[in-house]
Every structure is written in structure tokens, then in C-alpha cells.
Structure 1
Amino acid sequence: MPASLQEVGLAVKRLQWRHHRTANARLAAVGLSLVQWDVLRHLHERPEASLHELAQLTFQTDQSMGALAGRMVDRELLERVAGAGRAVRHRITERGDEARRAGSDVLDGVLQESFGGLTPAQLEQLHTLLTLANGAEVP
């Protein structure tokens, strides 16, 4: 009997929850939380991103992103830079980039535990299916 939509949804949620818990626990060793690493990752990929864009990319509110950015500035992971008009942008510091790279290694290990047994074709198929389920076009 094929899996129901609810069973598939629950399996996706359980995997996501396991990744989140495991990543947070292991990232603590490099001084980051998952959301901090995610901010560094997205800001590395989009150096001109606004706080609003970072909030959307990391599934936060603008207010929580602003508070998080402030804490990350205090820890010298980010620095504030002037933007157009009154806009304030953030840039990754050298310390922040070192933390981002260390965090990426941690995340690669967490994801390897889940997906390392899949063949390249299975990984591609999983990516395609998840991309389609999220309403995006497959590249």
C-alpha cells in the first residue's frame, strides 16, 4: 500500500527535525547555532542582502533577524556597513567567514549521515521531487 500524503509529510518533518537538532548540537562546538550559520551562509551567497531578505531566507521575522544580527555583530561575526540612503547592511567578518566554513563542514557531516547512502541518481531524484513539492521549477 502506498504511503499517504500525511505519512510523507510526517517523514519530511521528522527528517527536518532530526537535522535541526543534530546540527544545533554539533554547531555548538564551533560556537554557532543553526540559524546563525544559516545567516552567514546566505550573506556569503548574497553579500548585499538586507536584513529583511535575510529574515525571509532564514525563516525569521524582521524583528528577530535584527536582534540576531545585533548579537552576531557583538560577537564580531558580522559588521554593519552603510547602504543606500539610511539602509544598514551587514557584511561577514573574517571571524564570521571562518565560523561559516567550520559550520559548513559540520552540516555536511550531518547531511552525509542522512543522504550518504543514496546514489547520485537518487539524490538528484530526491532534489527534483522536493523542488517540485515546494512549487519551484526544476533547474
Structure 2
Amino acid sequence: MHGDPQALGRAVKQAQYRQHRALDSALAAVGTTLAQWDALRAISRSPGASARELAAATFQSEQAFGTLVGRLAAQDLVDRRPGRGRRIEHHLTPAGERILAAGHRVADQVLTTCFAALTDADRATLLELLRRVNGEG
């Protein structure tokens, strides 16, 4: 069992699923969803980025991201501005900044609970291992 790659993949997916459900539920209390908060977070990290860049950063198709950012713009959380050529740049509005900040507080609480069974050393090791698996280290 310890070397079973399918069991390992399933355990990673299960942990991710549990986190996503907990985050989505908790983020509803601050008026957003996990997908919306993730999009706000990506825009905050890369102000002025295109939909293509932001879709890649949020693991979505361009079409799905376009639909999502349209809803965010309708809620006055995101501002879309013309860039060079046909490029549309994305920026957070002050309301978007407030929702993002509230989401950060919620995410910190939820993820602290999700990883509470691990010691600080265990969490550091898990992060190192996942970064290595993702080609980051």
C-alpha cells in the first residue's frame, strides 16, 4: 500500500476535496466562492494580467475564466480595462480588495484547521514534498 501510486494520488485528491469544500462553505460567509476568491487572488498577484494568463494561474479554461470574471465585474469586484492591442487588463476594485482580504482571513482559519493534525515539521515536510512533485524543487 505504501508504494501504491493510485492510493497516493487518491489521498492527495481527497485532501484537496476536503479543503475545497471547507473553503467554499466558509467563504460563503464573506460573500464569495472559492472560484471567485481564487480569481481575485490571481488578479491581485498579477494586476493588469490578461484573461489567458489568469485562466492558467487559476487552472481554468479561458472560457470558464471569462464567465467568472464577468460575474466579478458585474459585482464591481474587478475592473477590466483596455490594454495594448486587443488585450484586456484585469484589476481589483476597492470592493474586490476587501473581499480578497476577508477571504485570506477565512482561508487561513480553514487551512489551519485542515492541517491541525500535522506538526509544524510535518507541514514543512509535506510542503517540500509537494513542491518537489510539482517540479518546483
- Tell me the TM-score normalised to structure 1 length: 0.92
Which residue does the alignment assign to 2:112? 112
Query: Aligned with 2:29: secondary structure?
Result: helix
The CA deviation at 1:119 is: 3.0
Which residue does the alignment assign to 2:126? 126
Which residue does the alignment assign to 2:65? 65
Which residue does the alignment assign to 2:55? 55
In 1, the alpha carbon distance for the partners of 2:136 and 2:37 equals 27
Please provide the CA RMSD for this pair. 1.4
Residue identity matched to 1:74: A
* Pairs within 5 Å for 1:1-139: 2-134=2-134, 136-138=135-137
The CA deviation at 1:9 is: 1.1
In 1, the alpha carbon distance for the partners of 2:30 and 2:114 equals 21
The CA deviation at 1:7 is: 1.5
The CA deviation at 1:116 is: 3.2
Query: Aligned with 2:76: secondary structure?
Result: coil
Unaligned ranges ≥5, structure 2: none
Query: Aligned with 2:22: secondary structure?
Result: helix
In 1, the alpha carbon distance for the partners of 2:73 and 2:131 equals 34
Residue identity matched to 2:120: P
In 2, the alpha carbon distance for the partners of 1:93 and 1:12 equals 35
The CA deviation at 1:48 is: 2.5
- What is the aligned residue count? 137
The CA deviation at 1:5 is: 1.6
In 2, the alpha carbon distance for the partners of 1:21 and 1:47 equals 28
In 1, the alpha carbon distance for the partners of 2:37 and 2:77 equals 10
In 2, the alpha carbon distance for the partners of 1:87 and 1:2 equals 48
In 1, the alpha carbon distance for the partners of 2:2 and 2:49 equals 43
In 2, the alpha carbon distance for the partners of 1:18 and 1:79 equals 32
The CA deviation at 1:34 is: 0.3
The CA deviation at 1:117 is: 4.0
In 2, the alpha carbon distance for the partners of 1:112 and 1:84 equals 42
Query: Aligned with 1:91: secondary structure?
Result: strand
